[in-house]
Structure 1
């Protein structure tokens, strides 16, 4: 049964208020579990004459973005959970998955090679799976979570963060990536859970042996490397860099892009293979950034939705997505 009580609404209000206020044996076995990450569509630069910004529907309240094997971006709506697809070559698009309504947002999302969309349901506590081709929402898992935030796909599972609980949700994927059951993996080791918004974006290490999670609380904000088998977390050494506003993560080879939403910036790190250390190499800013939250890549570009958490959303609030060059 999908939870619809008022406590979910309060959690949602609290989380968005918080966002507005923030102005190789083990490695080989792990790599077999999680797979490795490569550059995304590096040979398909495209982009010549493609729009560097395009509008999203008024009132849509975008947060997550995912780009699959073709040049189309999918965006999730915080307003009602809908998914909007836009062609990168034209900027034009339409809603391809209808949302379940207010109280059932889509926060993070990822698309697989079968055009399945894995949707993080925020304060609804839901994990949803939808078909991007038919628009049908299939399985809905009620995790009982406080705020299911972001998701990353690995060969055997879809992993989801919870911003208010020290745990991960593991949606086990069977043959051909078919969703099966949800398991809970508690976070331990160096993981420190704050009183408010803590876990956010999620990625894999370059060698595929572990997961990387934003922890916006511990040490002033940073990355944690998590063993997917045990949930044991260890702080990633980023030197003096901090991620107090860290949101979406994107790994291309050994280059990690971390969106710092309220700072209107993307911080860029070069990681070692195991993801235990990272060196800050660049910061990407752009006057078109209006609190971007998440990032996906196509060709030599990065695409980000502007969530505009600094304004009170209305049905007429304008939203857009912007593209910048990769480092």
Structure 2
């Protein structure tokens, strides 16, 4: 988009669309030494979360792209990267000392130093309109981004010495079929050291194995099950895939076969603290989940938080 005003209008529109996408097993409040709930600044409007060394977490703002950094142990934190008008922070991924950020309707991606907050790069991934660069996973060689409105992935090569290559577009082919005007590709993960990618399609509830070299997507057979409203995903141990279904406040566990072409839904977990949970990150034997609270009255002043739960193994 050509201006801050245009981008702001687009952001507001996207939040409204997210609303359209958009049972409890409570955990004992005193379980473990970590806080169950970590408050974020009022009006922050988070969406993505990533952890660093299992102790600290980052979450970003849909309002202005600000990044909040906090401790999962103490629950304390503060704004790490100040917001910038026209920026948006959606999905996040940490690799080494780099924090990769998906820029939603801006079509951009950002990279920050996880220690200092210094901006390491800004990438114009696409000129397509509309676009929604939704999520990101960083591997050893590249950061991969989904676009919910365009049937393609974006690749930012990671080179030595803190350098990055030019962004590349990889069309998605094979079994995946996008529906115009809906949120399609959303959460993304890497398997086998980045040799395979896994993508969830929110509107259909399907999971796909994607060849990063060709973009060919193969549907993962869940035996008749699906994960509609699938948002953030997290691969745990190479075959356990966590999928957050934001609209129904549910964390679903899929046990994948070794070829990543089939799997079984083995559990669905909810929690009294979930309020449109969008993304999940791992921290030891616990999971950190950010609540986007789409649809809450007065989001500019509403309360937001991160929920920590024990890994339901």
Same-fold call, TM > 0.5? yes
**Alignment partner of 1:301 out of 282, 286, 299:** 286
Q: Which residue of 2 aligns with 1:169?
A: 154
- Following TM superposition, by how much is the alpha carbon of 1:276 offset from its aligned partner in structure 2, in angstroms? 0.9
> Match for 2:76 among 77, 88, 92?
92
Contact 1:3 1:142 (8 Å CA) reproduced: no
CA distance in 2, matches of 1:201, 1:141: 20
Partner of 1:82 in structure 2?
66
Aligned length: 299
Write the mapping of 1:50-89 to structure 2, written as runs, cut at 5 A.
50-89=34-73
CA distance in 1, matches of 2:73, 2:214: 43
Summarize the Cα distance change of 1:200–1:6 in structure 2 as closer, same or farther, 3 Å threshold. same
- Determine if contact 2:139/2:193 at 8 Å carries over to the other structure: no
Distance in 1 (alpha carbons) for counterparts of 2:226 and 2:302: 31
Change (3 A) 1:7 1:185: farther
Contact 2:275–2:292 (CA<8 Å) still a contact in 1?
yes
1:22 equivalent in alignment to 2:21: yes
Q: CA RMSD in A?
A: 1.8
Matched, 1:214 2:194: no
Structure 1, unaligned stretches of length 5 or more? 24-46
Q: Choose from 223, 229, 232 the match for 1:245.
A: 229
Could you state the TM-score of these two structures normalised by the residue count of structure 2? 0.90
String of CA shifts for 1:176-226, please: whole Å, max 9, x gaps.
563221100011111201122111000123575311111123xx3211111
Helix, strand or coil for the counterpart of 1:309?
Answer: coil
Distance 2:247 2:186 in 1: 14
Distance 2:258 2:17 in 1: 34
Q: Is the 8 A contact 1:65 1:295 kept in 2?
A: yes
Q: Distance in 2 between matches of 1:104 and 1:147?
A: 12
Provide the rounded CA distance (Å) in 1 between the counterparts of 2:4 and 2:301: 27
Partner residue, 1:132: 114
Show CA shifts across 1:23-82 (max 9, x none).
5xxxxxxxxxxxxxxxxxxxxxxx832111110110100100000224001001111101
Distance 1:325 1:51, change over 3 A: same
Residue number in structure 2 paired with 1:141:
123
CA distance in structure 2 between the partners assigned to 1:312 and 1:162 by the alignment: 28
Within 1, Cα distance between the matches of 2:77 and 2:44? 13
With normalisation by structure 1, the TM-score equals 0.86
Alpha-carbon distance, 1:110 to partner: 1.0
Deviation by residue 1:137-189 (Cα, 9 ceiling, x = unmatched): 23211222511110001111000000100000000011156322110001111
- Counterpart in the other structure of 1:230: 214
| 1:288 matches 2:273 | yes
CA distance in 2, matches of 1:259, 1:206: 22
2:91 corresponds in structure 1 to: 108
**Which residue number corresponds to residue 11 of structure 2?**
12
Runs of 5+ consecutive residues of structure 2 not aligned to the other structure: 23-30
The aligned residue for residue 38 of structure 1 is none
